[in-house]
Structure 1
């Protein structure tokens, strides 16, 4: 696996976020009734709490994406079987990423989830209004300096450098293996740092909800409820599409696979962590007939490259923020955004709320204020639960499909050595 997630007390985290959410609702509604001075104070306090959290999140973006991508791609190696299985499944991952992003984009444009929200103020309006130049964008893809790209958190340039770096590792022989081990360890460290930052998530949730409700009053609760319903409906559509595509490969056996995946999906939904599901998911795939050497290769790769729920959230969340601020994105720019997100999403780690990290990095590239993330923080735990369950489903399908393509999908439990 590109990097293992640190062990955390997910139940305690969940309770902390729920308590922060409840306190934020009560405090915000109360402060809304106390007049303009109380509302202003609540808005400033909320801005401080969420701003600190966002800065710390941005701090880990560059090294996290670099380590995750390099270690994931570098592990492909040059073995014939690995290249064949990896090549086929990577094509599947890319196709599913495109499907997920497109569904999120279309759903957000149709449902208009951002209408009616009161977003945090934008500090620099001028920096968000810049015409899109195709030639400049293409030239911008190639970094002139990776250090400069990392300093600016330019996610696309970091992704391009990381992919090329990972592909070049096998050519370095022993030194490449040392560097691969180094990036794996860096990934462990950055995931631990991400987890440390997430300790402040309850504070950010409280500040975001309190500030929003103090400003908008009880009407904001209706907007958040509608947003949750619309996002879950979009996730359900993606489930149907993924299941239909998997049926084209697996046929009637899809029913048995769904029965095996039920428990891992529920666990993923409850913990909001794909990593916590990995051992159980591998076991259930073995019960279905996926060889260990196939499942043990596809799943870790999928945890970096095939997080369908998290990817859908990228496009849905970006359009939501644009609508909340009244920013109109032409379809040409939205299509380009899908392509950029398809690349940048490959650096998403399988840990709770990690998709926020990538979204924060991508937003400024399309003239969208990263401060809009504050609108999502208050309910992101519930969004993350749905995203994680979808990630588990998509990777379970991918492993079974890979085994089918290799002609190694048996009719019952199987274990072997990679």
Structure 2
């Protein structure tokens, strides 16, 4: 059970609400970036500093949540079932996102008529991304999950390495039995302090969003979007369809409303939009999902895994961008080549999970295996990738919130009363915040 002090305020004047402050900050940042682009670019350190502050606590928050959840559960067989259910969900909807991107690109043809000569395209940044994609392999990715040292995992802030050690330590602590209870009690007390720290750091969110958005508009400008409006508009529309229709149907089938979930997470979503990083809201997502009735072991496992393996927005972007480049350069892809593209994207999206610039790296890795589409064509979308990264992050974030609730329900680890109350805008009582499976609704 998380401390009530960690919960964001739900009452008081409108201007005290975090989402209002972040929204105002984004608008102010956009104005600064548009009218004074040089000054807007100089505000980049504000956004970078806030993201660094949040990343500072991500590793310990994941460690404390996972360890106390697994150790408190004691049923290691249940832990394995949760992991299998999570991966089944990730594989299904990540593949569906890739297919939807492919279908929309074939229906809309956002790159048709551009008639770009691939030989005229060259960009040093694209070459760098292609080199990183070449270096990234499935085997290398799997080996990298194992940290060289325990301290190294926390020092580097690698989510999967921290998660790997946390799971191992949680299992060991559970096997110790009653002798490990003092350690569990200590870690739970430390967890309370860290979630209070998260609440304190979130007060700086408007400043971070202001600086990050001012930099984005100042450096790239709204004009760069206009040149590739068909691609950007198609990507945003496709992501919206995926969230409202696909994830909306999943939510309805599992007894909750996607629109109410979006409203519940509006502060975090605005923060993701402002900083263009879903990691900036990861600690708050963990805290809010627990308050909404999802059992701590499920939240602690599914959320960090989802940040690397459940990238719905990134998957939509990959197939849509790949076909845009093909259409813009006059390359016709047969059905067989598109199926190959889909299969490669499924693998490459996992190989670059957790890597900085993963969206562009996975796209480069995918195109390098389908030789008919020129990798150099990525230069066409480099200028607007920053604007599409915001949509990727938002879609990924919502997808992981839905996945966590669904997996919790599948495992009978969802307190439906707490979820309904949270999504209705109420404040769950401490009685509803238990992680005892016996109290959770099996619907």
TM-score of the aligned structures, taking structure 1 as reference length: 0.61
- Match of 1:338? 342
Q: CA 1:84/1:90 → structure 2, altered by over 3 Å: closer, same or farther?
A: same
Q: In the alignment, is residue 80 of structure 1 matched against residue 77 of structure 2? A: yes
Tell me which of 358, 362, 366 is aligned to 1:358: 362
Matched, 1:305 2:309: yes
Confirm or deny: 8 A CA contact 2:247 2:258 kept in the other structure: no
Aligned equivalents of 2:284 and 2:157: distance in 1? 23
1:286 aligns with 2:293: no
- Count, aligned residues: 301
Deviation at residue 334 of structure 1 after TM alignment? 0.8
Report the Cα offset of residue 345 of structure 1. Answer: 0.8
Alignment of 1:184-199 (within 5 A): 188=158
- State the match for 1:107 in structure 2: 104
- Give the whole-Å Cα distance in 1 for the aligned partners of 2:234 and 2:92: 24
Please point out which of 253, 266, 269 is paired with 2:273.
Answer: 269
CA spacing shift, 1:221–1:281, aligned 2, 3 Å: closer
Report Cα offsets for 1:236-265 as digits up to 9, x if no partner.
1111212212322x2246564343233322
Q: Is the 8 A contact 2:413 2:435 kept in 1?
A: no
Offset at residue 80 of structure 1 (A): 2.8
Give 1:86-125 correspondences, 5 Å limit.
86-117=83-114, 119=116, 121-122=118-119
Distance 1:290 1:374 in 2: 43
Separation in structure 2 between the aligned mates of residue 152 and residue 396 of structure 1, nearest angstrom: 29
| Secondary structure of the structure 2 residue equivalent to 1:122 | helix
Unaligned runs of 5+ in 1: 1-9, 24-74, 125-149, 170-175, 192-200, 214-219
- Aligned twin of 1:67: none
TM superposition shift of 1:153: 4.5
Change in 2 beyond 3 A, CA 1:233/1:352: farther
Partner of 1:62: none
Going from structure 1 to structure 2, the CA distance change for 1:369 and 1:79 (only over 3 Å counts) comes to farther
Distance (Å, rounded) in 2 between the aligned partners of 1:382 and 1:329: 27
CA shift digits 1:88-138 (9 cap, x unpaired): 1101000011110001011111111112336464379xxxxxxxxxxxxxx
Partner Cα separation in structure 2 for residue 246 and residue 263 of structure 1:
20
State the distance in 2 between where 1:92 and 1:361 align: 24
Cα distance, 1:246–1:343 mapped onto 2, change above 3 Å: farther
**Could you tell me which residue of structure 1 aligns to residue 138 of structure 2?**
159
Is the Cα–Cα contact under 8 Å of residues 268 and 281 in structure 2 kept in the other structure?
A: yes
SS of match in other structure, 2:359:
helix
Residue 245 (structure 1) aligned with residue 253 (structure 2): no
Shift of the 181–355 alpha-carbon distance from structure 1 to 2, 3 Å rule, reads: farther
| Residue aligning to 1:30 | none
The aligned runs of 1:182-261 (5 Å cut-off) are 188=158, 223-239=227-243, 240-248=245-253, 250-252=254-256, 254=258, 256-261=260-265
Contact 2:303-2:404 at 8 Å conserved across structures: yes
CA offsets, 1:177-219, max 9 Å, x none? 7567767766749x9xxxxxxxxx98xx76xx9xxx9xxxxxx
- Structure 1 residue runs of 4+, over 6 Å off? 19-23
CA distance in 2, matches of 1:255, 1:155: 40
For 1:365 and 1:21, the matched residues in 2 are separated by 43
- Check conservation: 2:102, 2:319, Cα contact below 8 A: yes
Relative to structure 1, is the Cα distance of residues 181 and 113 closer, same or farther in structure 2, using a 3 angstrom cutoff? farther
| Match among 366, 379, 382 for residue 384 of structure 2 | 379
1:336 deviates by 1.8
- On the 8 A contact 2:115/2:330 being kept in 1, the answer is no
- Distance apart, 1:387 and its partner CA: 1.0
Partner of residue 37, structure 1: none
| CA–CA separation in structure 1 for the residues paired with 2:345 and 2:382 | 20
When the two chains are superposed, the root-mean-square deviation of aligned CA atoms in Å is 4.2
